Amino acid sequence: MSIGASAVIRSLWLKSTLINKQLNKSLGYVHGIGFSEYMVLNSLFDSSNKTITRIDLVESIGRTASGVI
């Protein structure tokens, strides 16, 4: 990987971290939940019959199965 690509990747990662922190702060203040919880609830709402398997859930929110109980 080139130095330029590494800089872009690092910059994107840092920006996504800042966005995630702001979303967590805003959702926590207004609704008392974090961004991850919001994404889980949104995935459940969008699923048919409001149910979803754990594997499908984690795939829909970009997490690992061990990260969702």
Residue 66 has pLDDT above 90, yes or no: no
Task: For residue 52, report the phi and psi dihedrals to the nearest 5 degrees.
Answer: -160, 145
For residue range 36-64, list pLDDT tens digits in order: 899 999 999 998 888 889 898 999 888 88
> Reduced to 3 states, what is the DSSP secondary structure of residue 69?
coil
Say how many Å lie between the first and final Cα of the chain, rounded: 36
For residue range 2-19, list pLDDT tens digits in order: 788 999 999 999 999 999
Domain enclosing residue 7, as ranges: 3-67
CA 40/CA 63 separation, integer angstroms: 10
User: Two tokens at 45?
Assistant: 């709402």
pTM: 0.72
Tell me how many domains the chain contains.
1
Angle (deg, nearest 10), helices 35-46 and 3-31: 80
